[in-house]
Amino acid sequence: MKVLLINPPLPERTYPGKAMGIDYLAKVLGDNNHNVDILDLDAPDSRELKVLLEKFKPCIVGLTNLSIQNDLANEIAHKVKTFDRSILVVKGGTHEIFGFPTTLTYNKEYIDYVVVGEGEKSFPALVNAYAFGDLEIRRKSIPGLAYCESGRIRYTGKTTFCSATELNELIPKRLYHSSYYDFDIFNKRKTAQMMTSRGCANSCNFCMESRMGHTERSRSLSSIYSEVYKLRNKGYEAIYFDDSTFTRDKNRVEKICELFREEFPDMIWACNTRIDCLDENLITCMERSGCVYMFTGFESAVPAVLVGLNKTHNPRAYLRNSELIYNKLARSSIQSSVFLIFGAAKRTLAPLHKGKLEKKIYVSIDGEHHSRTFEPECFEDVKTSIDFAVYKLKPQYLSMNVLRLLPGSPFSEDECFSCIRPHGDIVHAGHYDKRWYQEHDKVDIRTRHHIYRAFEGRGSVVPPQMTPDYCYSILEYAVNAVNSNKSVNCRLVVDKAFEDTYMEHRNGKYRLVPFREIAENGSLEVEAVQGAR
């Protein structure tokens, strides 16, 4: 079968890179003797959809999407069906883990199937069944599929995660490379993204992975060696490890570092990690093996916010350790980043009582009594986090996100967090689907103002307190803090289009245009048409 895999455009982004999920699908489809091509509409130099459809003539089109890409993906599916109704259109990606009922309810005329969860098993099974002409018979026995039958949505149940043994053999098929994928932190050397593990053992309240189980599966050292060896032979000079928390298992990381020192001393690399999964000895080991950058999700410097995020249950120790880690990074050659989230819920302080507090009405956090209720973060909390990041951690890069209320995350669904949701309602997949708004005659509550581009948040559902002028105040405060810090040259990481239009960066200093000069809105619908070409 001819299968075309498509990654939709991403309206705003602060970091380079590619959607690797379809590269893994290309691998397993190729192993099943199918003819696969990939179209990345997020890359500026991508081919045109219509031209590729005419030339490649796919039987199946697979679309991946994040929640923020959902309308764009649906628009592309519509274009594919308009081009040729006989093409089977299959949608997947993280949004569909919780969004498939909405997708099939409101977009079923141009989406035939949805793959729910990891697709390396269910999608090839679907393609194989379609190739043999008996998909409608076999689909009920393929886990991880959703589709419409007799006017009803059918879901075949959860697919199993790929095991560590299966991941060892699952080296992605990189059908092409764009200079768009080369990272600035590597000075634009040819960059490959790579995963040595899948899953996340943490349960952060802003993340959908909190509801997907906590099983981390790690590849063997020989499997990692094999992939890096092939990448080097193809001219790649830098590796970015996309694991959720690359340094979770420190002993394993030390072995990977040894591998780079002995076998790939000419390559450099970077990774994602957490502050509580680092120590000074590990940083030294990573530096000696070619690590040049770490992306760390710090999130907040306010203890009550950290607990609200479920980032840690010992926030004071977390903050003390953060200073030690960043001081060590400052003494190394590894560039550091601080990533902050604004708009989260925080634990409220318990009211003071003369008598003993009943345990059922409070929790103890670092010796302070907090109630079991939550309230929105305030601007004083924002300033505390920015000041701590800029003046104490002193990173080379500062990234800031508005809390995005994503379908399936605890912040979007749990009753205790209603204080940070629009009207207190549950935020579900319909809030990321324009057809749902139209069918229910609802006002689209997704962000449109261009200020959200600075926070990688335009097109998202955000807490009601995160208004455009409030977000501007956050950015303005961060700009002033970065400009006043003379001890380190810190770069604010924002969407490039936003920086080019609304911020001037010269001699290490920023100048932010007045709020009134920042555009009030932008149309995702227009971008969908342009992005799909």
pLDDT of residue 472: 97
**Token duo for residue 50:** 């219509």
Per the domain annotation, does 458 fall within a domain? yes
Per the domain annotation, does 175 fall within a domain? yes
Q: In this model, does residue 359 exceed pLDDT 60?
A: no
pLDDT band at 370 (very low <50, low <70, confident <90, very high): low
Output 178 or 25, whichever has higher pLDDT.
25
Q: Tell me if 447 sits within 8 A of 460, measured CB to CB.
A: yes
Quote the DSSP letter at residue 487. Answer: S
pLDDT band at 350 (very low <50, low <70, confident <90, very high): low
Predicted confidence (pLDDT) per residue in 239-269, tens digit: 999 998 999 999 999 999 999 999 999 999 9
Q: In this model, does residue 532 exceed pLDDT 50?
A: no
pLDDT of residue 211: 65
Q: In this model, does residue 283 exceed pLDDT 70?
A: yes
Domain boundary (129, 161, 193) is at 161
Output 380 or 485, whichever has higher pLDDT.
380
Per the domain annotation, does 143 fall within a domain? yes
Domain count, the chain: 2
Q: In this model, does residue 361 exceed pLDDT 70?
A: no
pLDDT of residue 12: 75
Per the domain annotation, does 364 fall within a domain? no
Rounded average pLDDT over 89-117: 96
**Token duo for residue 507:** 């001699």
**Token duo for residue 452:** 């959200």
Is the backbone of residue 94 left (phi > 0), alpha (psi -120 to 50) or beta? alpha
pLDDT of residue 521: 76
CA atoms within 13 A on the CB side of 51: 6
13 and 46, same domain (yes or no): yes
Per the domain annotation, does 527 fall within a domain? no
Rounded average pLDDT over 128-136: 96
104 and 189, same domain (yes or no): no
Domain span at 257: 165-293+320-333+389-503
pLDDT of residue 511: 96
Q: In this model, does residue 530 exceed pLDDT 50?
A: no
Kindly tell me the sign of the dihedral angle through the C-alpha atoms of 234, 239, 245, 246.
Answer: positive
Q: In this model, does residue 527 exceed pLDDT 60?
A: no
Per the domain annotation, does 305 fall within a domain? no
185 and 254, same domain (yes or no): yes
pLDDT band at 440 (very low <50, low <70, confident <90, very high): very high
Q: In this model, does residue 529 exceed pLDDT 50?
A: no
Neighbours of 515 (CB within 10 A): 16
Per the domain annotation, does 238 fall within a domain? yes
Please state, in angstroms and rounded to a whole number, the distance separating the CA atoms of residues 460 and 277. Answer: 30
What value does the mean pLDDT of the chain take? Answer: 90
20 and 106, same domain (yes or no): yes
Q: Tell which residue, 363, 360, 359, has the closest CA to residue 374.
A: 363
Label the pairing between strands 335-342 and 238-241. Answer: unpaired
15 and 127, same domain (yes or no): yes
pLDDT of residue 412: 95
Domain boundary (161, 183, 204) is at 161
Please state, in angstroms and rounded to a whole number, the distance separating the CA atoms of residues 193 and 288. Answer: 21
Q: Tell me if 182 sits within 8 A of 191, measured CB to CB.
A: yes
242 and 143, same domain (yes or no): no
208 and 236, same domain (yes or no): yes
157 and 239, same domain (yes or no): no
pLDDT of residue 178: 87
pLDDT of residue 213: 61
pTM of the model as a whole: 0.91
Quote the DSSP letter at residue 8. Answer: -
Domain boundary (144, 161, 178) is at 161
Exposure string of 426-438, with b = 16+ CB inside 10 Å and e = fewer, is ebbbbbbbbbbbe
101 and 193, same domain (yes or no): no
Rounded average pLDDT over 493-502: 91
Phi, psi (degrees; rounded to nearest 5) at 280: -65, -40
Please state, in angstroms and rounded to a whole number, the distance separating the CA atoms of residues 294 and 339. Answer: 11
152-155 sheet: strands from edge to edge: 35-40, 2-7, 60-64, 88-92, 113-115, 145-149, 152-155
138 and 51, same domain (yes or no): yes
pLDDT band at 362 (very low <50, low <70, confident <90, very high): low
pLDDT of residue 524: 44
55 and 86, same domain (yes or no): yes
Q: Tell which residue, 476, 527, 518, 458, has the closest CA to residue 14.
A: 458
pLDDT band at 531 (very low <50, low <70, confident <90, very high): very low
Output 9 or 508, whichever has higher pLDDT.
9
Q: In this model, does residue 38 exceed pLDDT 90?
A: yes
Q: Tell me if 200 sits within 8 A of 272, measured CB to CB.
A: no
Q: What percent of the chain has pLDDT over 90?
A: 77
Q: What percent of the chain has pLDDT over 70?
A: 92
Rounded average pLDDT over 64-79: 96
Per the domain annotation, does 111 fall within a domain? yes
Rounded average pLDDT over 408-420: 94
Neighbours of 477 (CB within 10 A): 16
230 and 263, same domain (yes or no): yes
Please state, in angstroms and rounded to a whole number, the distance separating the CA atoms of residues 26 and 5. Answer: 8
Q: Tell which residue, 190, 209, 198, 173, has the closest CA to residue 5.
A: 173
Q: What is the CATH number of the domain that holds 193?
A: 3.30.750.210
Predicted confidence (pLDDT) per residue in 73-100, tens digit: 999 999 999 999 999 999 999 999 999 9
